[in-house]
């Protein structure tokens, strides 16, 4: 049964972490087809304790990963990549990967899968996707791109890194509130820091670090910074494209 997709806001406190059997990790799934009706994305939040994970592999899904806190490394295929704060990583389909955390602090990651496991892709792959090469990028390597007054974004994992279905980016919102607008893509957001309000059709909801937001295509919405520091967010959307693709909603 398919759940009707609807805009959703899920706080970190709304979903407890559950153990991943046979691993050093716990996880929760704020956004998927069952919880929100999301058609193309699965957002997962992982917390790895010290140690090395078992080998993992996604048969058909791309997995774009982002480091929220802690540090470690990922072995994807035969390549090893450092995982430091604000690093993005692509684990392509059918390529084994391992997560290592030297400890003692936990390593927290946000993962987004597309297509959803066990389901065919419902959108065509990006014609701009390059052959898979470098699979990781740090926030400091990317340029700031304007997204309106007092807000900007940085592209992370996207077709430049071989992603066919997903674009991952970091958004930064200073003391401003954007006009209501809509995007043509389906989006999973994770708040990295700061505090604010998301305005969607069903109401106004407080957001802070750890909050997840699901926006179906065409959802009229607005993110507002309501705190003293920059509101920082991780966005992943499908189909791949530009975060700047939007229309103002009068």
Structure token digits, residue 226: 């309501």
Q: According to the model, what pLDDT value does residue 61 have? A: 98
Which residues have a Cβ under 8 Å from the Cβ of 21 and sit 6 or more positions away? Answer: none
Closest-CA residue to 3 (of 48, 27, 37): 37
Q: Are 38 and 3 in contact (CB under 8 A)?
A: no
Q: What does the buried/exposed string (b/e) look like for 123-141 if buried means 16 or more CB atoms within 10 Å of the residue's CB?
A: beebeebeeeeebbbbbee
Give pLDDT tens digits for 157-169: 999 999 999 999 9
Give pLDDT tens digits for 184-229: 899 999 999 999 999 998 899 999 999 999 999 999 999 999 999 9
C-alpha 12/C-alpha 8 separation (Å) is 13
Domains of the chain, CATH where assigned: 8-136 (2.60.120.10), 139-245 (2.60.120.10)
Q: Are 171 and 151 in contact (CB under 8 A)?
A: yes
SS3 per-residue string spanning 74-92 = EEECCEEEEECCCEEEEEC
Cβ-based burial of 166 (10 A; exposed 0-12, middle 13-18, buried ≥19):
buried
| pTM of the predicted protein model | 0.95
Q: pLDDT over 70 for what percent of the chain?
A: 97
250 pLDDT tier (thresholds 50, 70, 90): low
Cα dist from 188 to 41, 145, 194, whole Å: 7, 20, 18
Using the predicted structure, report yes or no on whether residue 13 has a pLDDT greater than 90.
yes
Q: Are 126 and 159 in contact (CB under 8 A)?
A: yes
């Amino acid at each position: 049964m398919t759940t009707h997709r609807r805009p959703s806001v899920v706080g970190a406190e709304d979903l407890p972490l559950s153990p991943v059997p046979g691993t050093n990790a716990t996880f929760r799934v704020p956004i998927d087809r069952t919880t929100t009706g999301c058609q193309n994305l699965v957002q997962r939040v992982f917390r790895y304790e010290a140690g090395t994970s078992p080998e993992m592999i996604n048969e058909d899904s791309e997995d774009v990963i982002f480091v929220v806190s802690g540090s470690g490394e990922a072995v994807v295929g035969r390549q090893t990549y450092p995982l430091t704060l604000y690093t993005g990583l692509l684990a392509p389909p059918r390529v084994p990967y391992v997560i290592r955390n030297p400890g003692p602090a936990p390593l927290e990651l946000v993962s987004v899968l597309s297509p959803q496991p066990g389901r065919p892709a419902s959108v065509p792959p990006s014609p701009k996707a390059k052959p898979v090469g470098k699979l990781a990028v740090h926030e400091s390597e990317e340029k700031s791109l304007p997204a309106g007054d007092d807000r900007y974004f940085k592209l992370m994992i996207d077709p430049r890194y071989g992603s066919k279905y997903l674009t991952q980016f970091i958004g930064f919102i200073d003391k401003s509130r954007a006009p209501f607008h809509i995007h043509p893509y389906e989006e999973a957001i994770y708040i990295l820091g700061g505090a604010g309000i998301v305005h969607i059709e069903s109401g106004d909801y407080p957001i802070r670090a750890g909050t997840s937001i699901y926006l179906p295509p065409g959802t009229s919405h607005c993110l507002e910074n309501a705190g003293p520091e920059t509101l920082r967010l991780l966005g992943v959307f499908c189909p791949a494209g530009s975060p700047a693709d939007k229309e103002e909603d009068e």
